[in-house]
Amino acid sequence: MYPIERVEPLNAEVTRMVVRAPEIARKIKPGQFIMLRIDEVGERIPLTMNDCDPEAGTVTIVFQAVGATTMRLAKMKEGDALLDFAGPLGNPTELEGAKRACVIGGGLGTAIAYPQAKWLYEHGAEVDVITGFRNVDLVLLEDEINACSTRQIIMTDDGSNGNKGLVTQALQQRIDEGADYDLVLAVGPVIMMKFVAATTKPYGIKTLVSMNPLMIDGTGMCGGCRVKVGDEYLHACVDGPDFDGHLVDFDDAMRRGVMYRSFESAARDAAEGRDCNGGAAVAAADGERKGA
Amino acid sequence: MATSYEVNRQKEKTPMPELDPVERARTFEEVALGYAAEDAFNEARRCIQCPKSPCVHGCPVGVPIPQFVAQVAEGDFGAAYALVKEANALPAICGRVCPQESQCEGVCTRGKNGEPVGIGRLERFVADWAFEHPEEAAKAAAALAERRAEEAAAAGETPAEAVAADEPDEIVVPDVDLSGKRVAVVGSGPASLTCAGELAKRGCDVTVFEALHKVGGVLTYGIPEFRLPKDLVAREVEALGESGVSFETNALVGKLYDIDELMDERGFDAVFVGTGAGIPSYLGIEGEGLNGVMAASELLTRVNLMKAYLFPEYDTPVYAGKHCVVVGGGNVAMDAARTAKRLGADVTVVYRRGREEMPARAEEVHHAEQEGIEFQLLTNPVRILGDDKGWTCGVECVRMELGEPDASGRRRPVAVEGSEFVVDIDMLVVAAGSKTNPLIAQTTPGLETTSRNLIVADERTCATSKPGVFAGGDAVIGAATVILAMGAGKRAAAGIAEYLTAK
């Protein structure tokens, strides 16, 4: 079991959770992910690391309560424990050598972009961080990012923070101003990463995107997490999760991403019913398994 | 060899009680129900105790088949179990999943005129009997161990040598005391479990590292419940735990620890790598990225490991269409086809060679046919078709004919020009084998691997190019069978015992 040491809502939808996992904390690097399972009936879900503290032996994850598992996760409290927490999985983001980087986070992606910005900043790079949210109430990690960036630009869809627009507009403006980036990292919705890559392509700026496809085992076994990169399908779990943004087929990724959408509401309803019912439903499910 | 019993001259195997095919195609319950004592007794008496016992030579772990079958024929199931268990750590599993027709039963003398003795069914019977009669089984095992010690003392040799004298094809793990030695076993499939069990028997402190949350490797995530109940796998793992093997789940070696760290920091004296096959292979044809197209390992992992067939009681869903094509002719293809059937699809297996060339276990093909799965043999998919939303809606196939033999000795299938036709589908499962996961190769300096990332290991001892590191199973030979992996696990245990004693 992996004890939850701290739970903190970052806004109405997003939660930060600190989990005790000393061995993983010792090894995990920006860009790598963990797979967790809440309990015996739970799914394995991948979450990219937000932060880690090797000395305290903790790994921090940030998630948005949108699916059955993340909604259940958001209800867990300090002192509860996760049944499974495996990592570090995937490859660390290739950050070495970057001198002038732009790290872009869209919504929840900001939480994953944060450790990359921090690493770059601590290693002497100039780091611009551009983040985008629907409105000012959803802005994430503003103080943390201020502490590890040369410049932070926060964009909102509705302009409620006084800065209306898309992250790509801010990126284009910085490029026009002569920012001369040697690395752009984008983490967020697939559509955002697609347009970030399209923005940097004419300038030939190295652009990495962090893909988050459907995944089951996360260790290189099931083939569920295929991402079309150039002419071939690669696996986010062993070849990624970061890929060259100029080679990723984002339309293909968006199409594959909806494959399980029709199951989502049934999963949420069942999970909610189970949680209201306490252990009874879990026991019933277990009984059914034994009978099967 | 004369028999102490009257031989049963019946030409066919004693039938195996099975669930009704129509009934079972809707559930995940085990299909083959196992022999009753009387069935086992009758079947065992079909063995004529022929002097050369070719069956033993056909067994990768050298189970003393005529001896155990004779005990079944005599009605001494405990003694039969003790003999099997001495050679095979996982008899309840092997009795169910071994390709007996190409091993022990394939060379059985009775098979020259009629059906061979149902050795697999008998092995399963004694293993299941032992589970239901734990005290009698333990007593019989102790009695056999005592007999071995006496035989050894009389002959002035070690008990292991006494076993070897009894069963010349046996892989002999030397009878040494490994107390105080620590071995890390990477992966928890059949090769690893066998290796761990053999070492633990000799007092070795063994820790098994498993990347997933459940132990068992392919026995857990790959082979379906209806062929190998997961309770049974859990039981075998539990027994290993009782014999002193520790398990660390959620531990992906190569990421959480690398092999050097296991040896230098965690103090393991030797490491066995049994990481199995890895990432699925695809067909390399147009349309493989369409929704509704998946690798067999994704379907099987969702259903077996994550229990998606119980969705939404379990959180993991699984997509199943109405019309499914499974591409491939191996056991994984049969498992995928029968799983898709149970999820509600009409299933057709498409395989580019003929029935004779199918690598699947004969019984699995037979069971699939009984359950209403169609076979399009000598047929190859050339293109997967999609609708405007990106879901698969058809697969274009071409008829094949067999040409000259290829490097594998099998006749090479050649496409028949102009024979293309389209099958309407909404689900396609690719069971085209796998590529090795490169993780261990990439993170272990000094470990020699092939261009396909297979680990190079000595055939006899399973030693790799890196001192103290041994490897076996699919990680070394590519995707094969449970029993071959177990044979490797046993040889590796012998190699490790030798290495640790010399050290």
pLDDT above 90: residue A265: no
* Among A41, A47, A57, residue whose Cα is nearest residue A2: A57
Which residues are CB-contacts of A261 (< 8 A; sequence separation ≥ 6)? none
Which residues of chain B neighbour A27 with C-beta distances below 8 Å? 255-256
Residues of chain B with pLDDT under 50: 168
Structure tokens at B211: 């990347």
Distance from the B272 Cα atom to the nearest Cα atom in chain A, whole angstroms: 19
pLDDT of residue B480: 82
Q: For the sheet containing A33-37, what is the strand order? A: A45-48, A33-37, A84-89
Which residues of chain B neighbour A285 with C-beta distances below 8 Å? 310, 313-314
The partner residues of A15 in beta bridges, in order of sequence, read A9, A63
Rg from Cα positions in chain B: 23
Which residues are CB-contacts of B375 (< 8 A; sequence separation ≥ 6)? B348, B349, B351, B355, B368, B369
pLDDT of residue A258: 86
Which residue from B minimizes the CA distance to A271?
Answer: B315
The partner residues of A183 in beta bridges, in order of sequence, read A101
Topology of the domain covering B182-277+438-502: FAD/NAD(P)-binding domain (3.50.50)
Structure tokens at B465: 């190019």
3-state secondary structure chain A: CEEEEEEEECCCCEEEEEEECHHHHHHCCCCCEEEEECCCCCCCEEEECCEEECCCCEEEEEEECCCHHHHHHHCCCCCCEECEEEEEECCCCCCCCCCEEEEEEECCHHHHHHHHHHHHHHCCCEEEEEEEECCHHHCCCHHHHHCCCCEEEEEECCCCCCCECCHHHHHHHHHHCCCCCCEEEEECCHHHHHHHHHHHHHHCCCEEEECCCCCCCCCCCCCCCEEEECCEEEEHHHHCCEEECCCECHHHHHHHHCCCHHHHHHHHHHHHHHHHCCHHHHHHHHHHHHHC
Which residue from A minimizes the CA distance to B296?
Answer: A222
Which residue from B minimizes the CA distance to A67?
Answer: B315
Domain ranges of chain A: 2-89, 100-257
pLDDT of residue A105: 96
Structure tokens at A77: 């409290």
pLDDT of residue A288: 35
Which residues of chain A neighbour B432 with C-beta distances below 8 Å? none
3-state secondary structure B135-173: HHHHHHHHHHHHHHHHHHHHHCCCHHHHHHHHCCCCCCC
Which residues of chain B neighbour A223 with C-beta distances below 8 Å? 279-280, 282, 294-295, 297-298
pLDDT above 90: residue A68: no
Q: How far apart are CA A198 and CA A194, in angstroms?
A: 6
C-alpha dihedral sign at A160, A164, A170, A176: negative
Subunit contact B295:A222, Cβ cutoff 8 A? yes
Topology of the domain covering A100-257: Rossmann fold (3.40.50)
Subunit contact A223:B27, Cβ cutoff 8 A? no
| Cβ atoms within 10 Å of B281's Cβ, excluding its own | 17
Q: Which of A16-20, A129-133, B27-31 has the lowest mean pLDDT?
A: B27-31
CB contacts < 8 A, A to B, total 140
Q: How far apart are CA B375 and CA B423, in angstroms?
A: 13
Measured CA to CA in angstroms, residue B292 lies from A281, B302, B319, B392 at distances of 30, 14, 7, 6
Q: How far apart are CA A131 and CA A55, in angstroms?
A: 30
Structure tokens at B424: 């309407």
Class for domain A2-89, per CATH? mainly beta
The verdict on whether omega for the bond into residue A88 sits within 30 degrees of 0, i.e. cis, is yes
Helix axes B134-155, B119-132, angle to 10 degrees: 110
ipTM of this complex prediction, to 2 decimal places:
0.90
> What is the mean pLDDT of the segment spanning A166-189?
96
Judge whether B21-139 and B293-430 match in fold.
no
Q: How far apart are CA B388 and CA B105, in angstroms?
A: 51
Q: Does B261 touch chain A (CB under 8 A)?
A: no
CB hemisphere CA count around B229 (13 angstroms): 17
pTM for the model stands at 0.91
* Among B211, B217, B215, B242, residue whose Cα is nearest residue B439: B211
The partner residues of A101 in beta bridges, in order of sequence, read A127, A183
pLDDT above 80: residue A277: no
* Among B132, B138, B139, B174, residue whose Cα is nearest residue B157: B174
Topology of the domain covering B293-430: FAD/NAD(P)-binding domain (3.50.50)
Q: How far apart are CA A62 and CA A113, in angstroms?
A: 11
The partner residues of A273 in beta bridges, in order of sequence, read none
The reply, when asked if residue A225 is annotated as ligand binding, is yes
Measured CA to CA in angstroms, residue B358 lies from B326, B365, B377, B395, B431 at distances of 14, 9, 9, 21, 13
| Cβ atoms within 10 Å of B33's Cβ, excluding its own | 11
* Among B376, B380, B374, B364, residue whose Cα is nearest residue B481: B364
pLDDT of residue B163: 57
Q: Does B250 touch chain A (CB under 8 A)?
A: yes
Please, are residues A69 and A275 in contact by the beta-carbon 8 Å criterion?
no
Phi, psi angle pair for B96, to nearest 5° = -95, -35
Q: Does B286 touch chain A (CB under 8 A)?
A: no
Residue corresponding to tokens 């009605």 = B75
Q: How far apart are CA B245 and CA B183, in angstroms?
A: 10
Q: How far is CA B259 from the centre of its chain?
A: 26
Q: How far apart are CA B377 and CA B328, in angstroms?
A: 10
Q: How far apart are CA B440 and CA B141, in angstroms?
A: 38
pLDDT of residue A114: 95
The 10s digit of each residue's pLDDT in A33-49 is: 999 999 999 999 999 99
Distance from the B31 Cα atom to the nearest Cα atom in chain A, whole angstroms: 12
Distance from the A15 Cα atom to the nearest Cα atom in chain B, whole angstroms: 21
Residue corresponding to tokens 């809606």 = B393
Measured CA to CA in angstroms, residue A178 lies from A100, A172, A173, B492 at distances of 11, 10, 9, 61
CATH of B21-139, one of 3.40.50.620, 1.10.1060.10, 1.10.760.10, 3.90.650.10: 1.10.1060.10
> What is the mean pLDDT of the segment spanning A74-89?
96
Residue B478, classed as helix, strand or coil, is coil
Residue ranges of B 425-484 with Cβ closer than 8 A to chain A: 437-439
The partner residues of B405 in beta bridges, in order of sequence, read B411
Cα dihedral: B195, B201, B202, B208 (round 10): 40
**Beta pairing, strands B427-430 & B323-327:** parallel
Domain ranges of chain B: 21-139, 182-277+438-502, 293-430
pLDDT of residue A290: 31
